[in-house]
Amino acid sequence: MKKKKINLKDLKPNSEAQHSHDDGHNHGNGSAFKTYIPAIISFVMLMVGIAVDYFDAIPQFQGWIRVVWYTLAYIPVGFPVIKEGWKSLIKGDVFTEFFLMSIATIGAFIIGEYPEGVAVMLFYAVGELFQNAAVNRAKGNIKALLDVRPKEANVFRDGDYVSVSPEAVNIGEKIQIRVGEKIPLDGILLSEKASLNTAALTGESKPDSIQKEAKVYAGSINLESVIEVEVTNKFEDSSIARILELVQNATARKSKTELFIRQFARIYTPIVVFLAIGVIFIPYFFVDDYAFRDWLYRALIFLVISCPCALVISIPLGYFGGLGVASKNGILFKGASFLDAMTKINTLVMDKTGTVTKGVFKIKEIKTIGWDESDFMKYLMAMEEQSTHPIAKAIMVYKGTENSYEAKEVSEIAGKGLKGIVNGKTVLVGNQALMIANSIDVPTETESIVESIVLVAIDNQFAGYVVIADELKEDAKETITDLHKVGIKNIMMLSGDKDSITQQVAKKLNIENAKGGLLPEDKLNEVESLKKNPENKVAFIGDGINDAPVLALSNVGIAMGGLGSDVAIETADVIIQTDQPSKVVRAIKISRSTRKVVWQNIILAFGVKVIVLILGAGGLATMWEAVFADVGVALLAILNAVRLQKMKWD
C-alpha cells in the first residue's frame, strides 16, 4: 500500500459529515427533515387522490384535473429520478435503475394508471431514502474514527505552551496534554506515569496505565493528570492518521462477490429491458384477443421488478457493515476482499513471541548454592548491567535488592556469555558452554530446564542460576479453544525461539504442530509447503515486523498489535490493534456473518424477483407486487444487513 499523506482538513469529523449524509436520526439538523419533504408531499397527495377516487367524493375530480393532480403528486419524487436517468443517458449509461423507473412510471401514466405510477415512484424514492440512511449508519462506525482525530496541540515554544494545529508540530518538540484531552501526536511519555483510554484505537475500553519513556499514540485520551510527551512522528505519519487512511481505503477495495454483482447488473438489466419489449410485442403473434394496453402494463411491471437496486445496494451495505463493526472492535480489514478471504481460512499458522506470549521476559526462578539470594543477585545484576540483551533487562528489574556492586573488565564471549570482575571476584554469567569452557561443575538438574537459564559462577565455583521465561497472554489458551470451535482445526506454531520452549508453549495451548529454532526464511518455507496443497487456505499471525515476508505470502496476513508498526500496516491484510490473539476469532466470526448476510440478500433478491417476474409476465401480478419485488425486497435486504451492527461478538 503506497503511503499517502493525509491533510488534517481532509478528515472531516462525523458531525460534519452528517450534514451532507444524514441518516434521519439527527433531529437537531434541519436538513435531515428536508430530505423527506418531497416524499411526504407525494404521499399526502397520493392518499388524497386515492381516497377521492375510491369514495367518488368530488365529482369534478375527473379528466384533466385528475391527471394534473397525480402529475403534481409525481413530480416531487419523480423529477429527481428522471433527472438522474437523463444524466446517465447523456453519458451513454442507458440501463440504469433511474432509467428503468422513469420508463415504467411514465408508461403507467400513458395507459392511465396514474395512482400506480405515483405509488411506484414514491416507494422507490422512500426505498432510496432508507438505503441512504442504512449506508450512512453502516459507514457511521467507520466515520466515528474521524471523531478521534485531535484538533489542536499544546506545544512548548518560547518558554510557554501555545495551542497550534497538530500538523504544525515538529518531531522532538514537547507537548502537554491536560486531563480529558486527546493526545494529538505519537510520542514518548516524559511524565512519570499516565493512564490512557485507547478505545478509539484498539476497541478496548479498559484504561491503559503506562510509565515514563513508554510510547503513546495519537487519539488516546489522557484520563488522570496533566502529562508531557516528546513528539516522535509528524501528524501525517502518526498511528491515527495511518489507521484513518487504512479504514477509508478499505471501503474502496471491493470483494469478488461485490464486483461480480455489479458486472452482472450491467448485463442483466439490458436483457430484462429487451425481454420487457418482447412481452409487449411477441404475444401479438400467438394470442387471439391481443390487447396492446394489457401487455404494455405487464411489460411495465416487468421493468419495475427487474430494477437491480436491491442487489446493487444491499451487498456493499453488508460489507460496509462488516468493515465498520470490525473497526469498532479494533480489527482493521484492508478491504472487503479480505473479509471474504477470512471466511475460507482453514489453516492458521502463528508466531509465538508477541503473538501468544507477551514477549516480555520475567524471572521465573532463582536458585543459589552457598550464597544469599540478595548478595547473589547483586553480583549478577552488576554483570548484566553491561548488556542490552532482553534477558539482561529482565534480570535488572529484580525487586529483591538494589544493585550496589560495580563490574569491571567485563568482556563478552561470543555465544556463551560475560566474564568480569565484581568486588575483586571473577564472575562468569552465561550458558552451559561458558561453564564447560572454564571447567565449572554445573548441577545436572539444569539440563532438564526448558526455559532460558542464566548460569553464574563466582571465583570458579558454581553459585547458582536464574530461570527466565516469557509469559503466555491471558487469552492465549482460550483463543486456541475458540479457534477449534469455529472450525479451524489445523493450527501450527512457528518460532525462532529454541524448539524445547516452543514445544512447551504449544503443549500448554494444546497445539499439536509446533516448530522452534526457525529463521524467517524457514517460516517462509513452512508456509510455502502448506500452500502447495490447494485445499489449504492459510492465515498467518505475526508481529508484522520480523514476519513481514510470511505475512505477505499467506492467503490472509494478520498483524498482531500493529498499532505502532509501519511494517504491519504496509504488509498485513488484517491488523489486530491490540495484543489479544482472541481478536482473530472475532475477526473470523465477523467475516463469516458478513458473508452470510450478503448471500442471504442475494438469494432473497433473486428469488423474489424471479417469482414476481413470472407472475408479471403471466398477468398475475400488478404494479403493487412489482413494488414489493423491487423496493420491498431492497428494504428487507437493508434490514438484514443492518443486523450486523447489532450483533454481539463476545
DSSP string, 200-221: HHHS--S-EEEETT-EE-TT-E
Q: For helices 63-90 and 37-55, give the axis angle rounded to 10 degrees.
A: 150
**Same domain (yes/no): 19, 137:** yes
What's the CA gap between 500 and 620, in Å, rounded?
Answer: 74
Q: Are residues 597 and 587 in the same domain?
A: no
83 shares a domain with 226: no
pLDDT, tens digit, for every residue of 396-445?
888 666 667 888 998 888 778 899 999 899 999 998 889 999 999 999 88
The pLDDT mean for the chain works out to 81
Asked if residue 210 belongs to a domain, the reply is yes
Lowest mean pLDDT among 198-207, 308-317, 504-513: 198-207
505 domain residue, yes or no: yes
Q: How confident is the model at residue 452 (pLDDT cuts 50, 70, 90)?
A: confident
* Domain co-membership, 347 together with 484: yes
The residues annotated with a catalytic role in the active site are 351
Report yes or no on 8 lying in a domain: no
Strand, coil or helix: 437: helix
Q: Please tell me the predicted confidence (pLDDT) of residue 142.
A: 52
| 559: CATH | 3.40.50.1000
Q: 310 or 72: whose pLDDT is higher?
A: 72
Domain membership of residue 493 as a residue range:
330-357+473-591
pLDDT value at residue 144: 56
pLDDT in tens, 106-162: 888 888 888 888 887 887 788 777 767 766 665 555 555 555 567 789 999 988 999
| Residue 470, C-alpha cell as written in the block | 516469557
Place of cell 448476510: 597
Most confident by average pLDDT, 29-33, 253-257, 294-298: 294-298
Residues 382 and 463 placed together within one structural domain of the fold = yes
pLDDT at 510: 92
Backbone angles phi and psi of 93, in degrees to 5: -95, 90
User: Would you say residue 245 lies in a domain?
Assistant: no
Give the whole-angstrom CA distance, residue 201 versus residue 242. Answer: 11
Structural domain includes residue 244:
no
Instruction: Based on the fold, state whether residues 132 and 78 are members of the same structural domain.
Output: yes
Same-domain pairing of 117 and 262: yes
Q: Is residue 65 part of a domain?
A: yes
| Distance between CA atoms of residues 274 and 280, nearest Å | 10
Select the highest-mean-pLDDT range: 133-142, 347-356, 619-628. Answer: 347-356
Q: In terms of Cα–Cα distance, which of 50, 63, 45 is closest to 115?
A: 50
**Are 118 and 264 in a shared domain?**
yes
DSSP per residue over 76-142, as a string? HHHHHHHHHHHHHHHTT--S-HHHHHHHHHHHHHHTT-HHHHHHHHHHHHHHHHHHHHHHHHHHHHH
Confidence class of residue 16 from pLDDT cuts 50, 70 and 90? very low
Residue that finishes a domain, picked among 450, 471, 492 = 471
CA–CA separation, 348 and 73 (whole Å): 59
- What secondary structure letter does DSSP report for 447? G
422 and 515 both lie in a single domain: no
Same domain, 454 and 582: no
- Into how many domains does the chain fold? 4
CATH number at residue 402: 3.40.1110.10
Q: Which of 424, 449, 471 is the last residue of a domain?
A: 471
Q: pLDDT value at position 14?
A: 34
15 has pLDDT over 70: no
Kindly tell me if the per-residue pLDDT of 447 is higher than 80.
yes
> What's the distance, CA 408 to chain centroid?
53
* Helices 309-328 & 633-642 angle (0-180, nearest 10): 10
Q: Can you say whether the dihedral through the CA atoms of 329, 335, 336, 338 is positive or negative? A: negative
Q: Are 262 and 139 found together in one domain?
A: yes
Q: Which of 381-390, 453-462, 558-567, 609-618 has the lowest mean pLDDT?
A: 558-567
> Could you tell me if 21 and 132 lie in one domain?
yes
Scored b (16 or more CB within 10 A) or e, 556-582 reads bbbbbbbbbbebbbbbbbbbbbbbbbb
* Domain presence at residue 567: yes
Q: Which residue has the cell 416531487?
A: 76
pLDDT at 3: 35
pLDDT digits (tens, 9 = 90+) for 30-79: 555 688 899 999 999 999 988 888 887 787 788 889 999 999 999 999 99
Q: SS3 string of 298-364?
A: HHHHHHHHHCCHHHHHHHHHHHHHHHHHHHHCCEEECCHHHHHHHHCCCEEEEECECCCEEEEEEEE
Residue 258: per-residue pLDDT = 63
386/510: higher pLDDT: 510
